[in-house]
Amino acid sequence: MIKVFKKENTKVLATSGTLEGIKKLVKDYYMGSTMSYEEEPNGWLSISNKKGKIKDVFIKPKEKGKFKFIDINY
């Protein structure tokens, strides 16, 4: 479940016009780790790797033509 957060505490780590593009950027950010994604009730995608769910980072759905890879606890 995604917690409530303040916009000023978020950091956009990457953006892309396609879901596949943002997934590639996430994979590059974590240096080629095997990544998996799970849709949350609000439509965001949580991100997991071999060690489990990665805390506080999500893919935010397309907004203004772009997907965003964000850290909500920056």
Q: Which of 36, 21, 33, 27 is nearest to 67 (CA)?
A: 21
- Residue 4 — very low, low, confident or very high, per pLDDT cuts 50/70/90? very low
Domain regions of the chain by residue span: 7-71
**Strand pairing partners for 57?**
71
For 73, which DSSP code? Answer: T
Burial class (CB in 10 A: 0-12, 13-18, 19+), 69: buried
pLDDT tens track for 25-48? 999 999 977 899 999 999 999 999
Q: Which residue has the tokens 């590639």?
A: 24
- pTM for this model (two decimals): 0.79
pLDDT for residue 28: 93
Band (1; pLDDT cuts 50, 70, 90): very low
CB atoms within 10 A of CB 58: 20
